[in-house]
A and B are shown apart, each in its own frame.
Chain A
Amino acid sequence: MNNPAIEARGLKKVFTPAIRQPGFKGTVRSLIAPEHAEIVAVADVSFTVAEGELIALLGPNGAGKSTTIKILSGILTPTAGEVRIAGRIPYQDRIANAHNIGAVFGQRTQLWWDLPARESFAVLRDIFKTSLADHARRLDELDGLLELSSFWDRSPRHMSLGQRVRADLAAALLHDPPIVFLDEPTIGMDAVVKEQVREFLRFQVAERGRTIVLTTHDMSEVSRLAERVVLINHGRVVYDGGLVELQQDYGSGWQIRVVVDDDAALRDVPGFLAKEGAALVFGGDDPGEQRRLVRLLTELDVVRNLEVRSDDLEDIMATVYQRRAVPVAR
């Protein structure tokens, strides 16, 4: 990896919120002798992302994904560890770093709440000192991809969630940042808008060469967008590698269920496991064997129904979390 856009080494973030005991006594006590809890949101996170790469940063709720993204984007200062975004330390060089990054947090807008989105875009143009020509060209391209003009004269207050996130995506990319952080960008969206946003992200990586770090709980999104995933659990990286390798290493293999008119001959085919109701079940670990069996079955006239199953990505992730307690170095 010659030019890492993002480098995180040993990131740690500890929050120390005040503990308030219930009742009047507890309130008085918290004023006189406040107690603080210690919440380790990120314990030890290290990874790098190359220029033009899209990675999915995954993990269960509370794993530390959003905190990691906030450290990377310069919102939070890490308790320990090192981070560089395009060579800059984001929390020390925040203003210069802001020109290099765009960010969307799906549950919050960064637009002016009471003003039409187009006016917010114009102010962002001035804030980021984008030329009028570049701004017009980029806005036109973003409009083509996200269909913004149908609602950009509305304020975020009067937009649907899907419209608001699309406007936020445009706002995050108008200054043409090479690195983009997306925290649950498609949360709560319907299937049509989700697909539109996914297509938009594919375009940004493939055509514009942007580096994207994406967090999501939508595994279909991960499988459609990311080739590499970083799994975090309890604030530590538990897997960092390719999605295909993840499925191979941690999946339980393939399974084929087939219903045929006469199943006698198929019981001797390699990979046969059992008969469940009317279906014969085949399984195995070797993808080549799976392909051979599918070819064989599709050539048979007696096949009435054929179903190929692979492990659900969520199940695979659960397996990783169970098996891997030790952090991974990449």
Chain B
Amino acid sequence: MLTFRLAAMSVKASAANRVDFLSRIAIGAVTQVAVVVFATVLITRFPGMGGWAQGDVLLIVAIRMSGHALAVGFFVGLRLVARLARTGNIDALLLRPLPVYRQVLLAFFHVPVIGDLIVAAVLTATALAHLTVDWTPWRVGYLACAIVGAMLLEAAVQTFLGGFAIRSSGAKLWQEWVEELMATFGSYPLHILPDVARAAFTFLLPVAFAAYLPAAVITGHTTGLPVPGWAAAAAPGVGLLLFLAARQWWNRQLARYESAGG
């Protein structure tokens, strides 16, 4: 209940300036044009990509976009950490009887997320329409887990970097760059990339576990993956594990918070 109350406060604060609010919604829609164009070009100009059919590739785009939209919706407050730490405003969060992490997540409503969610829903519907997959209850459940896993994986990366941002405002740039990197490469079947890049996106910045590997499991493309089939199937769990590890890292960094001034 309190979470909803705080979330409602953030939405209300975001809507305090109507011109700014509407402008942000417009920016959200414009930002997603690149994803929509990518999907449109894929459907109208190419039969597929790297041996995957149109629908298979669209499923990667849909899972990533859905996970991203949810991550932005629930975890976008992590983008504020550097500013909150630099200005000493984490102090106020530490004085309230609530976890700081939760307060950070609820401190800010990202208006453009409305555009993200709409695009994610359209892409998912389009992907499902182009797929020739037997949607058993197991597959439907797995798709839902994959989307949540994609959200948690993006949240894990942002939480990890947010932990750095508690102590170093430069981490904000890393947060932005990594989000851009995940958006750019997370929508492709990664086996089209050179081995080094594929390994980097599997083991260094594990973008592959967000959408590529779960989509491979759902569509049956389980050969030629950078990890064994069971590891690919466990991709949503990887997102969860990385998120839990990132939360531990966050708590350790918060204990080393140094406030500002004074």
Contact = CB atoms under 8 A, between A and B. Distances in A.
A96 interface: yes
Contacts of B9: 112, 115, 119, 123
A163 interface: no
Interface stretch (B40-48, B181-189, B250-258): B250-258
B2 to A, nearest CB: 5
Contact of B89 (A108, A124, A126): A108
Contacts of B96: 98, 124, 127-128
Interface in A129-186: 155, 183
B97 interface: yes
Given A108-B89, A128-B97, A114 B13 contact: yes
Contact of B92 (A65, A76, A101, A108): A108
A75 B94 CA distance: 6
A76 B258 contact: yes
Interface residues of A, number: 37
Nearest to A95: B97
Nearest to B10: A112
A110 interface: yes
B91 interface: yes
B54 interface: no
B5 A183 contact: no
A99 B91 CA distance: 15
Nearest to A73: B95
Interface string B161-186: 00000001000000000000000000
Contacts of B94: 73-75, 94
A115 B13 contact: yes
A67 interface: yes
A75 B5 contact: no
B222 to A, nearest CB: 41
Interface in A26-51: none
Given A103-B95, A105-B91, A112 B13 contact: yes
B262 interface: yes
Given A115-B13, A115-B16, A126-B5, A75 B259 contact: yes
Interface string A90-125: 010011101101010101111011110001000110
B31 to A, nearest CB: 23
A312 B239 CA distance: 64
Contact of A98 (B12, B91, B97, B257): B97
B210 to A, nearest CB: 29
A107 B255 CA distance: 23
Interface residues of B, number: 28
A75 B258 CA distance: 8
Interface in B77-103: 87-89, 91-92, 94-99
Given A70-B91, A108-B91, A112-B13, A96 B262 contact: no
Nearest to A183: B262
A181 B49 CA distance: 63
Nearest to A92: B255
B6 interface: yes
Contacts of B97: 95-96, 98-99, 127-128
B262 A105 contact: yes
A76 B89 contact: no
A76 B257 contact: yes
A110 B95 contact: yes
A290 interface: no
B91 A75 contact: yes
A94 B93 CA distance: 11
Interface string A49-83: 00000000000000001110010011111000000
14 contacts: A66-B261, A67-B262, A75-B91, A75-B259, A91-B255, A96-B97, A98-B96, A99-B97, A105-B262, A108-B89, A109-B92, A114-B17, A123-B5, A126-B2
Interface of B: 1-2, 5-6, 9, 12-13, 16-17, 87-89, 91-92, 94-99, 168, 255-259, 261-262
Given A17-B258, A126-B1, 12 more contacts: A73-B94, A75-B259, A95-B97, A105-B88, A110-B91, A114-B17, A115-B13, A115-B16, A119-B9, A123-B6, A128-B97, A183-B262
